[in-house]
Amino acid sequence: MLNTPSTSFLRKGWTQIGQSTSILVDTTRGMGRKPPKQGKPPILPPSKKVLYHVVHPKWEKPENVKELLWRRFTYNNAIASIRQLYIQESISRAATGQGLEAMKEEEAKELNLLIIANNERNLQKAKEREVQKMEKWKETRQEVLWEIQSTVDAQAETAARSELEVRTVINRSSDFVSKENLEKKILEALETPKVYDFAIDKAGAKLESPTPVKYQEGTPTVQKTRLYDQTFADRV
Protein backbone atom coordinates (compact mmCIF):
# COMPACT_ATOMS: atom_id res chain seq x y z
CA MET A 1 0.00 0.00 0.00
CA LEU A 2 1.42 3.41 -1.07
CA ASN A 3 1.29 6.20 1.43
CA THR A 4 1.60 9.82 0.32
CA PRO A 5 3.28 12.46 2.49
CA SER A 6 -0.05 14.18 2.99
CA THR A 7 -1.77 11.13 4.43
CA SER A 8 0.98 9.36 6.31
CA PHE A 9 4.51 9.68 7.51
CA LEU A 10 7.36 7.21 7.94
CA ARG A 11 8.67 6.13 11.26
CA LYS A 12 11.94 4.29 11.38
CA GLY A 13 12.98 2.06 14.22
CA TRP A 14 14.85 -0.99 15.15
CA THR A 15 12.96 -4.21 15.61
CA GLN A 16 14.65 -7.19 17.21
CA ILE A 17 13.81 -10.64 15.82
CA GLY A 18 14.79 -13.40 18.11
CA GLN A 19 17.70 -12.82 20.49
CA SER A 20 20.53 -11.74 18.13
CA THR A 21 18.98 -10.35 14.96
CA SER A 22 17.68 -6.80 14.61
CA ILE A 23 16.39 -5.17 11.41
CA LEU A 24 15.31 -1.69 10.49
CA VAL A 25 11.60 -1.63 9.94
CA ASP A 26 9.64 1.21 8.32
CA THR A 27 6.32 1.64 10.02
CA THR A 28 3.56 3.89 8.81
CA ARG A 29 0.62 5.38 10.51
CA GLY A 30 -2.30 6.58 8.44
CA MET A 31 -3.28 10.19 8.94
CA GLY A 32 -6.30 10.14 6.58
CA ARG A 33 -9.95 10.14 7.71
CA LYS A 34 -11.50 6.75 8.27
CA PRO A 35 -15.21 5.98 8.37
CA PRO A 36 -16.42 5.88 11.95
CA LYS A 37 -17.40 2.64 13.54
CA GLN A 38 -20.98 1.62 13.37
CA GLY A 39 -22.88 2.78 16.41
CA LYS A 40 -24.93 0.58 18.63
CA PRO A 41 -28.50 -0.17 17.63
CA PRO A 42 -31.25 1.55 19.60
CA ILE A 43 -32.38 -0.09 22.76
CA LEU A 44 -35.58 -1.90 21.81
CA PRO A 45 -37.41 -4.74 23.48
CA PRO A 46 -36.84 -8.12 21.88
CA SER A 47 -39.43 -9.06 19.27
CA LYS A 48 -40.50 -12.32 17.77
CA LYS A 49 -39.76 -12.96 14.13
CA VAL A 50 -43.13 -13.89 12.60
CA LEU A 51 -42.68 -15.92 9.43
CA TYR A 52 -46.31 -16.87 8.83
CA HIS A 53 -49.69 -16.80 10.52
CA VAL A 54 -50.84 -20.04 12.00
CA VAL A 55 -54.60 -20.44 12.37
CA HIS A 56 -55.59 -22.45 15.38
CA PRO A 57 -59.21 -23.56 15.00
CA LYS A 58 -61.50 -23.71 17.96
CA TRP A 59 -62.04 -27.03 19.58
CA GLU A 60 -65.29 -28.68 18.54
CA LYS A 61 -67.18 -31.61 19.87
CA PRO A 62 -66.80 -34.86 17.92
CA GLU A 63 -70.53 -35.09 17.15
CA ASN A 64 -70.48 -31.55 15.74
CA VAL A 65 -67.49 -32.37 13.56
CA LYS A 66 -69.27 -35.45 12.20
CA GLU A 67 -72.40 -33.43 11.45
CA LEU A 68 -70.45 -30.69 9.64
CA LEU A 69 -68.52 -33.25 7.62
CA TRP A 70 -71.75 -34.98 6.64
CA ARG A 71 -73.27 -31.66 5.54
CA ARG A 72 -70.20 -30.89 3.46
CA PHE A 73 -70.38 -34.23 1.66
CA THR A 74 -74.12 -33.80 1.09
CA TYR A 75 -73.66 -30.27 -0.32
CA ASN A 76 -70.87 -31.34 -2.66
CA ASN A 77 -72.93 -34.32 -3.90
CA ALA A 78 -75.96 -32.07 -4.50
CA ILE A 79 -73.84 -29.58 -6.48
CA ALA A 80 -72.36 -32.38 -8.59
CA SER A 81 -75.85 -33.79 -9.25
CA ILE A 82 -77.21 -30.36 -10.27
CA ARG A 83 -74.25 -29.81 -12.59
CA GLN A 84 -74.77 -33.20 -14.23
CA LEU A 85 -78.51 -32.56 -14.57
CA TYR A 86 -77.85 -29.17 -16.18
CA ILE A 87 -75.49 -30.76 -18.71
CA GLN A 88 -78.06 -33.41 -19.59
CA GLU A 89 -80.86 -30.85 -19.97
CA SER A 90 -78.63 -28.66 -22.13
CA ILE A 91 -77.89 -31.61 -24.41
CA SER A 92 -81.56 -32.55 -24.67
CA ARG A 93 -82.63 -28.95 -25.34
CA ALA A 94 -79.97 -28.58 -28.02
CA ALA A 95 -81.30 -31.71 -29.68
CA THR A 96 -84.86 -30.28 -29.75
CA GLY A 97 -83.82 -26.77 -30.82
CA GLN A 98 -84.15 -25.22 -27.35
CA GLY A 99 -80.53 -25.19 -26.33
CA LEU A 100 -78.12 -22.44 -25.50
CA GLU A 101 -77.97 -21.12 -29.06
CA ALA A 102 -81.76 -20.84 -29.18
CA MET A 103 -81.71 -19.00 -25.85
CA LYS A 104 -79.09 -16.60 -27.21
CA GLU A 105 -81.18 -15.93 -30.32
CA GLU A 106 -84.27 -15.34 -28.20
CA GLU A 107 -82.37 -12.98 -25.92
CA ALA A 108 -81.01 -11.11 -28.95
CA LYS A 109 -84.54 -10.71 -30.35
CA GLU A 110 -85.80 -9.49 -26.98
CA LEU A 111 -82.91 -7.03 -26.78
CA ASN A 112 -83.71 -5.69 -30.25
CA LEU A 113 -87.36 -5.22 -29.29
CA LEU A 114 -86.34 -3.39 -26.12
CA ILE A 115 -83.99 -1.14 -28.11
CA ILE A 116 -86.77 -0.31 -30.60
CA ALA A 117 -89.20 0.47 -27.77
CA ASN A 118 -86.56 2.62 -26.08
CA ASN A 119 -85.94 4.56 -29.30
CA GLU A 120 -89.67 5.18 -29.73
CA ARG A 121 -89.91 6.38 -26.14
CA ASN A 122 -86.92 8.69 -26.68
CA LEU A 123 -88.55 10.15 -29.80
CA GLN A 124 -91.79 10.74 -27.91
CA LYS A 125 -89.94 12.42 -25.05
CA ALA A 126 -88.00 14.55 -27.55
CA LYS A 127 -91.27 15.75 -29.11
CA GLU A 128 -92.67 16.59 -25.67
CA ARG A 129 -89.49 18.50 -24.80
CA GLU A 130 -89.74 20.40 -28.09
CA VAL A 131 -93.33 21.40 -27.30
CA GLN A 132 -92.35 22.51 -23.78
CA LYS A 133 -89.40 24.43 -25.20
CA MET A 134 -91.68 26.23 -27.68
CA GLU A 135 -94.16 27.12 -24.93
CA LYS A 136 -91.35 28.39 -22.72
CA TRP A 137 -89.99 30.43 -25.62
CA LYS A 138 -93.41 31.99 -26.23
CA GLU A 139 -93.76 32.89 -22.55
CA THR A 140 -90.28 34.41 -22.49
CA ARG A 141 -90.98 36.33 -25.70
CA GLN A 142 -94.24 37.68 -24.25
CA GLU A 143 -92.45 38.80 -21.07
CA VAL A 144 -89.70 40.51 -23.08
CA LEU A 145 -92.25 42.27 -25.29
CA TRP A 146 -94.20 43.38 -22.22
CA GLU A 147 -91.04 44.79 -20.63
CA ILE A 148 -90.13 46.57 -23.88
CA GLN A 149 -93.64 48.02 -24.14
CA SER A 150 -93.51 49.18 -20.51
CA THR A 151 -90.16 50.86 -21.13
CA VAL A 152 -91.43 52.52 -24.32
CA ASP A 153 -94.57 53.78 -22.54
CA ALA A 154 -92.50 55.16 -19.66
CA GLN A 155 -90.15 56.89 -22.08
CA ALA A 156 -93.09 58.30 -24.04
CA GLU A 157 -94.64 59.63 -20.83
CA THR A 158 -91.34 61.19 -19.81
CA ALA A 159 -90.92 62.72 -23.27
CA ALA A 160 -94.46 64.17 -23.16
CA ARG A 161 -93.85 65.64 -19.71
CA SER A 162 -90.52 67.08 -20.82
CA GLU A 163 -92.13 68.50 -23.95
CA LEU A 164 -94.81 70.17 -21.85
CA GLU A 165 -92.18 71.68 -19.57
CA VAL A 166 -90.19 72.92 -22.57
CA ARG A 167 -93.30 74.46 -24.14
CA THR A 168 -94.14 76.16 -20.83
CA VAL A 169 -90.64 77.55 -20.58
CA ILE A 170 -90.82 78.72 -24.19
CA ASN A 171 -94.09 80.52 -23.45
CA ARG A 172 -92.51 82.18 -20.44
CA SER A 173 -89.36 83.05 -22.31
CA SER A 174 -90.88 86.36 -23.44
CA ASP A 175 -90.46 87.62 -19.85
CA PHE A 176 -86.88 86.40 -19.50
CA VAL A 177 -84.08 88.91 -19.16
CA SER A 178 -82.02 89.22 -22.31
CA LYS A 179 -79.43 91.60 -23.66
CA GLU A 180 -82.05 93.61 -25.51
CA ASN A 181 -84.44 94.20 -22.57
CA LEU A 182 -81.86 94.34 -19.79
CA GLU A 183 -82.25 98.09 -19.07
CA LYS A 184 -86.03 97.83 -19.18
CA LYS A 185 -86.04 94.94 -16.69
CA ILE A 186 -83.72 96.83 -14.38
CA LEU A 187 -86.03 99.87 -14.36
CA GLU A 188 -89.05 97.64 -13.73
CA ALA A 189 -87.28 95.96 -10.83
CA LEU A 190 -86.42 99.31 -9.32
CA GLU A 191 -89.95 100.65 -9.71
CA THR A 192 -91.76 97.52 -8.54
CA PRO A 193 -89.37 95.47 -6.38
CA LYS A 194 -90.39 92.00 -5.29
CA VAL A 195 -89.22 90.73 -1.92
CA TYR A 196 -88.59 87.05 -1.35
CA ASP A 197 -87.18 87.33 2.19
CA PHE A 198 -89.24 85.98 5.06
CA ALA A 199 -88.78 84.68 8.57
CA ILE A 200 -90.53 82.12 10.74
CA ASP A 201 -91.01 82.72 14.44
CA LYS A 202 -91.09 80.13 17.19
CA ALA A 203 -94.84 79.69 16.79
CA GLY A 204 -94.39 78.81 13.13
CA ALA A 205 -95.87 82.03 11.73
CA LYS A 206 -94.38 83.34 8.50
CA LEU A 207 -93.18 86.94 8.66
CA GLU A 208 -92.47 88.51 5.30
CA SER A 209 -90.08 91.40 4.93
CA PRO A 210 -91.67 94.70 3.93
CA THR A 211 -91.29 95.99 0.43
CA PRO A 212 -88.35 98.38 0.22
CA VAL A 213 -89.06 101.99 -0.67
CA LYS A 214 -87.40 103.72 -3.55
CA TYR A 215 -86.45 106.80 -1.54
CA GLN A 216 -85.56 106.80 2.13
CA GLU A 217 -88.10 108.76 4.19
CA GLY A 218 -87.15 110.29 7.51
CA THR A 219 -84.12 109.40 9.57
CA PRO A 220 -83.04 105.79 9.36
CA THR A 221 -83.12 103.92 12.68
CA VAL A 222 -79.86 102.48 13.90
CA GLN A 223 -80.41 98.86 14.81
CA LYS A 224 -78.96 97.78 18.13
CA THR A 225 -78.67 94.06 18.79
CA ARG A 226 -81.91 92.43 17.62
CA LEU A 227 -84.32 94.91 19.10
CA TYR A 228 -85.57 96.17 15.75
CA ASP A 229 -85.33 92.86 13.98
CA GLN A 230 -88.33 91.95 11.85
CA THR A 231 -88.93 88.74 13.81
CA PHE A 232 -89.39 90.76 17.01
CA ALA A 233 -91.22 93.69 15.46
CA ASP A 234 -94.64 92.66 16.81
CA ARG A 235 -93.25 92.19 20.31
CA VAL A 236 -91.52 95.53 20.67
Task: Provide the residue-wise pLDDT of the chain in tens; the chain has 236 residues.
Answer: 444 444 444 444 444 444 444 454 445 555 667 776 777 666 777 777 777 788 888 898 999 999 999 999 999 999 999 999 999 888 888 777 776 777 788 899 999 999 999 999 999 999 999 999 999 999 999 999 999 999 999 999 999 999 999 999 888 888 888 888 899 888 888 888 888 888 888 888 888 888 777 777 777 766 666 555 555 555 44
Together in a domain, 92 and 112: no
122 shares its domain with 164:
yes
- Rounded Cα distance, 164 and 170, in Å: 10
pLDDT for the residue numbered 9:
41
Are 118 and 164 within one domain? yes
150, part of any domain: yes
Which residue, 124, 145, 173, sits at the end of a domain? 173
- Is 132 a member of any domain? yes
Strand, helix or coil for residue 48: coil
**Final residue before a domain boundary, out of 173, 190, 213:** 173
Are residues 141 and 80 located together in one domain of the fold?
no
Residues 85 and 113 in one domain: no
In a domain, 31, yes or no: no
The answer on 135 and 88 residing in a single domain is no
Q: How far apart are CA 236 and CA 234, in angstroms?
A: 6
Percent composition of the chain: helix, strand, coil (DSSP 3-state, to 5): 55, 10, 35
CA angle 54, 60, 65 (to 5 degrees): 105
Residue 69 lies in a domain: yes
Domain containing residue 80: 62-96
CB-based contact 183:172 (threshold 8 Å) = no
